[in-house]
């Protein structure tokens, strides 16, 4: 014999009840079918009774909607010949309920006892309907055999009486018995009670255990027990096997799929549980049994969470070494019927913290302050403190026992993502590590844990990008093209969750379609500013996230600090931050390193060339950088390589701008400002504390050209053409070339124009290329040379892309 339980969604509509009929009628052996109320009805019954009790006359409409929903279902599922009779039964039942509601409205009074009676109508109605839909089924009223006794404010199952009554009731085996879940009655008084919200699962388990069923099937609306709550995490998947212990740990901790007390009766009688999907019956589901062997190498099986958490702390130096303090704490709580689901005490013994539901907090504090009134008065202990609106998360799996370092990995992952752990606990059985955090960090915590324990088939890196000009635009194209490959080959999902241009910004957790992002930003974006970007990004509090700055904006650079301080990595093509005051640069790097995240700016120098990485590798491996000589301006190099009799200075500047090599304002290149910034960044990365003002700058265009507006500059720069042409002709006869060279020697920096001859390594430098010669203690007689494209949207975007990828923890 099997017990099949169908949840609220499974019996919530005409179509779903017809599915249930099919599933049950296809069974070969006798079955007991336990059903919940039609989906959502229990909530509505609580709601309508509260309306009535508060004197709100709209309770009538709400009640009528409940009646109508049931009648519609009857009309849709009950065969014509039985319909009138079933309609009468349901109408009478709900008529009775409507009268009770009327009484509550008139008296404006509602007791727990009456509420318990009211909510029982949901399962009474649903079981009557389903019993008439399934061929050859009989319907039993569960209140007759599921018996409870009061305990504090709850009702607990009186197993002794219940088991005897079940055996009696089910003595004659039927092909199909349908009964309502959740509902019960008091052993002594027969007053209607229930097993608690979600309790239909428990009813089914009690029946299965009492009658030694071969299996307990929980039919619901998902394919099985998933690695985490699918409503919070998108890439969860079904766990095919769980041990009873794992299932207990997972559902006790809030996973909704099974009502927690359900596991014990099945475990006790060794009855396997299968979770199945009514809407996808061929899916294998999750099998829960006493088999504790596991075929997965994953350290944890699943994650579970409760958002209703209040942490209560009892503290006092007077607790240290005193026997019986914890006994008194838990005795006081138990006396008041308060359930504790996490306990944490440090070895110092001067405080004990434990987690309860928010609604139990006031009572718990009162009970503890009464219990310890004398100690509080003597100053040996403090008043109990309640911290509300927290969440509890648990990671679960029998494999944890075998794998060291799980707790380290868990807390490391949380730390890197800026998630604060307020309290934690690990049982000695090592199948569960639980911790308490802020409610607002819950989603992020679940996501990062799911990600870092490889529960996900792939990892996600969430990207916010600002600046959709040449570099940003090209980067988005590259990401779009590369996304499928990264997913297939590296298990990395690059999810672009925010894009901002100069006017508008668009954010979505699900990721923006990079085929249509331009139109989408135009249509749905909101007006943006760096502050808005910061607030949105921090507000979304999304896990594994990186902010990518493809602008040249000083204002955008000011938000890095807040982002890094909140564990959002930063990748900057923008040079402002890394070349700003040394203190600022050093602070940003230090925040990133303390928080275990990254602040990367490889493309600040030499576009996509691996310069910063190389310098870092040299230094990290113990080398010392003594000297650097470099051509770092793709724009200037392009200009000097392009100058000819036809291409005057002013013309080549325009050409550089049009080719996308120059900064938006080319004077930043011509004044050497851009090269100075790059040299500063390089020198800092090489270990020298330098400021832009320390760089000796030898200008090759008189300073007055840089003072007016950009328009003035374009209008007057032609004046320099003749002088440059003369200079060029002389160099041509001397076989020399002009190079704008940046030099750093033991921390002393300078930039300026040099004439180099054919033997000089800087002579052959084509187009807009860059070159960097690094002399170190190891690379001494022959400096290391890095050379190649130093500008251009494509290579710069690729460099930014590489920085982004290096942040992802690729498998």
Residues annotated as catalytic (active site), given as ranges: 678
1's enclosing H/E stretch is none
The nearest distance, CB 126 to ligand ASP, in angstroms, is: 8
- Helix, strand, coil share (%) of the chain residues, nearest 5: 45, 20, 35
Give the span between the Cα atoms of 626 and 784, in whole angstroms: 12
Closest to Mg ion by CB, 260 vs 498, is 260
> What residues contact residue 433 under an 8 Å CB cut-off, 6+ apart?
394, 395, 400, 406, 407, 410, 424, 425, 426
Q: Nearest approach, Cβ of 28 to ligand ASP (angstroms)?
A: 27
Q: Which does 226 bind (CB under 5 to 8 A by kind): Mg ion, ligand ASP, ligand ADP, none?
A: ligand ADP
Looking up tokens 């059903």 gives 35
Nearer to Mg ion, 7 or 418 (CB): 7
424, β-bridge pairs: 435
- The residue within the footprint of ligand ASP, chosen from 10, 16, 36, 187 (CB under 6 A), is 36
d(CA 264, CA 280): 27
Kindly state the smallest distance separating residue 201's Cβ from ligand ADP, in Å.
6
By rule CB under 6 A, what string of x and - marks binding of each residue 116-155 to ligand ASP? ------x---------------------------------
- Per-residue exposure over 609-631, b if at least 16 CB sit within 10 Å of its own CB, e if not: bebbbbbeebeeeebebbbbbbb
Residues 6 or more apart whose Cβ sits within 8 Å of residue 120: 143, 180, 182, 183, 192, 194
CB of 232 to ligand ADP, least distance (A): 8
- Smaller CB separation from ligand ADP, 6 or 121: 6
| Residue 494: CB minimum distance to ligand ASP, A | 40
> 197 contacts which partner out of Mg ion, ligand ASP, ligand ADP, none, CB within 5 to 8 A by kind?
ligand ASP
Answer for the pair 95, 64: CB distance below 8 angstroms, yes or no.
no
- The option from ligand ADP, ligand ASP, Mg ion, none interacting with 255 (CB < 5 to 8 A, set by class) reads ligand ADP
Q: Out of ligand ASP, ligand ADP, Mg ion, none, which partner does residue 477 contact, by CB within 5 to 8 A per kind? A: none
**Which is nearer to ligand ADP, 274 or 787 (by Cβ)?**
274
Site map 720..759 versus ligand ADP, x via CB under 6 A = ----------------------------------------
Residues 6 or more apart whose Cβ sits within 8 Å of residue 68:
none
Tokens standing for 216? 């307990």
Find all residues with CB under 8 Å of 550, minimum gap 6, and list them: 465, 466, 467, 468, 469, 471, 472, 475, 573, 574, 797, 800
In degrees, to the nearest 5, what angle opens at C-alpha 745 toward C-alphas 741 and 746? 155
Among 83, 102, 144, 256, binds ligand ADP (CB under 6 A): 256
Beta strands in 316-384 (DSSP E): 342-345, 351-356
Applying CB under 6 A, the span of 34-42, 89-97, 455-463, 649-657 interacting with ligand ASP comes to 34-42
Instruction: Establish if 260 lies at the interface with Mg ion (CB under 5 A).
Output: no
Q: How far is the CB of 394 from ligand ADP (least distance, A)?
A: 11
- Binding mask 83-122 vs ligand ASP (x if CB under 6 A, - otherwise)? ---------------------------------------x
Cα separation of 416 and 421, whole Å?
12
Shortest reach from residue 11's CB to ligand ADP, in Å: 9
CA trace torsion 142, 146, 147, 150 (10° rounding) = -100
Q: Pick one of 122, 131, 198, 634: the residue that binds ligand ADP (CB under 6 A).
A: 198
Judged by CB under 6 A, how many residues of this single chain contact ligand ADP? 18
Q: Of 498, 514, 501, whose CA–CA distance to 547 is shortest? A: 498
Terminal CA-to-CA distance of the chain, rounded, Å?
Answer: 47
Which of ligand ADP, Mg ion, ligand ASP, none lies near 222, with the C-beta cut-off 5 to 8 A by kind?
ligand ADP
Selected binder of ligand ASP within 167, 197, 212, 689 (CB under 6 A): 197
Radius of gyration of the chain (CA): 36
Does 182 engage in binding with ligand ASP (CB under 6 A)?
yes
Helices 649-658, 721-733: crossing angle, 10 deg rounding: 100
Distance of alpha carbon 339 from alpha carbon 202, whole angstroms = 19
**Residue 231 sits in the site that holds ligand ADP (CB under 6 A):** yes
One symbol per residue from 732 to 771: x for binding ligand ASP (CB under 6 A), - otherwise; what is it? Answer: ----------------------------------------
Which token pair is 515? Answer: 């085929």
Q: How many CB atoms lie within 10 A of CB 445?
A: 25
| Member of 255, 273, 680, 690 binding ligand ADP (CB under 6 A) | 255
Contact call for residue 226 and ligand ADP (CB under 6 A)? yes
Per-position x/- string for 6-35, each x denoting binding to ligand ADP as judged by CB under 6 A, each - no binding: -xxxx-------------------------
Separation of alpha carbons 703 and 721, rounded Å:
16
**Which of Mg ion, ligand ASP, ligand ADP, none does 221 bind, CB closer than 5 to 8 A by kind?**
ligand ADP
Answer yes or no whether residue 43 interacts with ligand ADP by CB under 6 A. Answer: no
Among ligand ADP, ligand ASP, Mg ion, none, what does residue 228 contact (CB within 5–8 Å per kind)? ligand ADP
| Residue 200 makes contact with ligand ASP by CB under 6 A | yes
Asked whether 605 and 632 are in contact (CB, 8 A), the reply is yes
How far is 511 from 117, CA to CA, in rounded Å? 47
- Contact set for ligand ADP, span 206-225 (CB under 6 A): 220-222, 225
Choices 254-262, 409-417, 599-607, 774-782; region in contact with ligand ADP by CB under 6 A = 254-262
- The pairing of strands 545-549 and 459-466 is parallel
Residue pointed to by tokens 């500059």: 713
CB of 202 to ligand ASP, least distance (A): 8
Nearer to ligand ADP, 279 or 700 (CB): 279
Write down the least CB distance from residue 8 to ligand ASP, Å. 5
Considering beta carbons, is residue 37 or 423 the nearer one to Mg ion? Answer: 37
Sites for Mg ion among residues 193-222 (CB under 5 A): 198
Query: Whole-number minimum distance, CB 18 to ligand ASP, in Å?
Result: 20
272 forms part of the interface with Mg ion (CB under 5 A):
no
Q: What is the token pair recorded at 420? A: 């604060």
Angle at 198 between CA 192 and CA 201, to 5 degrees: 95
| Residue of 181, 224, 530, 634 that binds ligand ASP (CB under 6 A) | 181
Which residues have C-beta within 8 Å of that of residue 157, sequence separation ≥ 6?
146, 147, 148, 184, 195, 202, 206
Q: Could you tell which of ligand ADP, ligand ASP, Mg ion, none binds residue 231, using a CB distance below 5 to 8 A set by kind? A: ligand ADP
Using alpha carbons, list the distances in angstroms from residue 735 to 31, 700, 730, 763, 777: 97, 20, 9, 10, 33
**CA 476 to CA 487: how far, in whole Å?**
16
Position with the least CB separation from ligand ADP: 7
Q: Least distance (Å) from ligand ASP to the CB of residue 186?
A: 18
Cβ of residue 36: shortest distance to ligand ADP, in angstroms?
6
Q: CB of 233: closest distance to ligand ASP in angstroms?
A: 23
d(CA 774, CA 682): 11
DSSP 8-state class, residue 317: G
Residue ranges in contact with Mg ion by CB under 5 A: 7, 198
Residue ranges in contact with ligand ASP by CB under 6 A: 7-8, 36-37, 42, 122, 181-182, 197-200
Residue ranges in contact with ligand ADP by CB under 6 A: 7-10, 36, 198, 220-222, 225-226, 228-231, 255-257
């Amino acid at each position: 014999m099997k017990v099949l339980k169908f949840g609220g969604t499974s019996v919530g509509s005409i179509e779903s009840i017809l599915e249930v009929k099919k599933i049950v009628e296809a069974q070969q052996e006798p079955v007991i079918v336990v059903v919940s109320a039609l989906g959502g009805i229990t909530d509505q019954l609580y709601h309508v009774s509260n309306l009535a009790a508060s004197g709100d006359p709209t309770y009538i409409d709400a009640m009528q909607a409940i009646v109508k929903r049931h009648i519609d279902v009857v009309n849709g599922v009950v065969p014509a010949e039985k319909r009138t009779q079933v309609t009468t039964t349901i109408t009478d039942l709900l008529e009775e309920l409507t009268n009770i509601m009327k009484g509550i409205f008139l008296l404006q009074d509602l007791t727990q006892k009456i509420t318990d009676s009211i909510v029982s109508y949901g399962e009474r109605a649903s079981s009557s309907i389903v019993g008439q839909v399934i061929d050859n089924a009989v319907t039993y009223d569960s209140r007759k055999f599921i018996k409870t006794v009061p305990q504090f404010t709850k009702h607990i199952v009186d197993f002794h009486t219940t088991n005897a009554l079940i055996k009696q009731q089910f003595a004659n085996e039927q092909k199909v018995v349908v009964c309502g879940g959740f509902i019960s009655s008091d052993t002594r008084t027969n007053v209607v009670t229930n097993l608690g919200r979600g309790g239909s699962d428990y009813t089914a388990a009690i029946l299965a255990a009492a009658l030694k069923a071969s299996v307990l099937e929980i039919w619901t609306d998902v394919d099985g027990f998933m690695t985490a709550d699918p409503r919070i995490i998108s890439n969860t998947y079904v766990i095919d096997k769980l041990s009873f212990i794992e299932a207990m740990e997972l559902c006790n901790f809030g996973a909704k799929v099974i009502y927690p007390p359900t596991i014990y009766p099945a475990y006790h009688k060794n009855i396997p549980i299968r979770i199945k999907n009514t809407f996808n019956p061929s899916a294998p589901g999750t099998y829960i049994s006493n088999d504790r062997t596991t075929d997965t190498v994953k350290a944890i099986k699943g994650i579970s969470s409760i958002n209703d958490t209040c942490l209560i702390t009892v503290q006092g130096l007077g607790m240290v070494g005193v026997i019986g303090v914890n006994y008194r704490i838990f005795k006081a709580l138990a006396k008041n019927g308060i359930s504790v689901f996490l306990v944490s005490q440090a070895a110092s013994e001067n405080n004990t913290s434990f987690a309860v539901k928010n609604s139990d907090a006031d009572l718990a504090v009162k009970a503890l302050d009464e219990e310890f009134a004398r100690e509080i008065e003597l100053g040996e202990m403090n008043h109990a403190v309640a911290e509300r609106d927290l969440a509890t998360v648990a990671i679960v799996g029998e494999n944890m026992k075998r794998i060291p370092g799980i707790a380290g990995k868990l807390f490391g992952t949380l730390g890197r993502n800026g998630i604060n752990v307020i309290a934690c606990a690990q049982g000695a059985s090592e199948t569960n590590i639980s911790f308490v955090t802020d409610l607002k960090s819950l989603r992020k915590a679940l996501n990062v844990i799911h990600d870092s324990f490889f529960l996900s088939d792939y990892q996600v890196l969430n990207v916010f990008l600002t600046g959709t000009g040449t570099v940003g635009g090209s980067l988005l194209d590259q990401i779009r093209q590369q996304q499928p490959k990264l997913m297939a080959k590296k298990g990395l999902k690059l999810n672009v969750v925010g894009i901002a241009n100069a006017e508008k910004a668009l954010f979505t957790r699900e990721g923006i379609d990079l085929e249509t992002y331009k139109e989408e930003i135009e249509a749905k974006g909101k007006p943006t500013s760096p502050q808005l970007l910061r607030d949105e990004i921090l507000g979304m509090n999304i896990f594994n996230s990186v902010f990518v700055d493809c602008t040249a904006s000083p204002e955008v650079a000011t938000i890095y600090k807040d982002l890094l301080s909140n564990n959002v990595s930063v990748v900057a093509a923008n040079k402002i931050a890394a070349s700003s005051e040394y203190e600022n640069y050093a602070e940003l790097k230090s925040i990133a390193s303390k928080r275990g995240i990254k602040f990367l700016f490889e493309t600040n120098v030499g576009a996509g060339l691996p310069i910063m990485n190389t310098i870092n590798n040299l230094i990290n491996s113990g080398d010392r950088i003594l000297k650097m000589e470099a051509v770092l301006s793709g724009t200037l190099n392009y200009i000097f390589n392009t100058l000819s009799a036809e291409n005057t200075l002013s013309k080549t500047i325009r050409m550089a701008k049009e080719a996308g090599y120059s900064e938006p304002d080319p004077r930043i290149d011509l004044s050497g400002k851009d090269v100075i910034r790059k040299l500063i960044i390089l020198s800092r990365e090489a270990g020298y504390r330098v400021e832009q003002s320390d760089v000796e700058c030898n200008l090759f265009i008189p300073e007055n050209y840089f003072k007016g507006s950009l328009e003035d500059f374009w209008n007057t720069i032609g004046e320099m053409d003749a002088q440059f042409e003369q200079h060029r002709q002389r160099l041509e006869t001397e076989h020399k070339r002009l190079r704008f060279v940046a030099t750093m020697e033991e921390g002393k920096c300078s930039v300026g124009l040099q004439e180099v001859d054919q033997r000089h390594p800087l002579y052959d430098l084509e187009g807009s290329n860059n070159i960097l010669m690094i002399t170190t203690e190891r690379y001494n007689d022959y400096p290391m040379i890095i050379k190649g494209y130093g500008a251009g949207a494509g290579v710069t975007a690729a460099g930014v892309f590489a920085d982004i990828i290096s942040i992802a923890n690729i498998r």
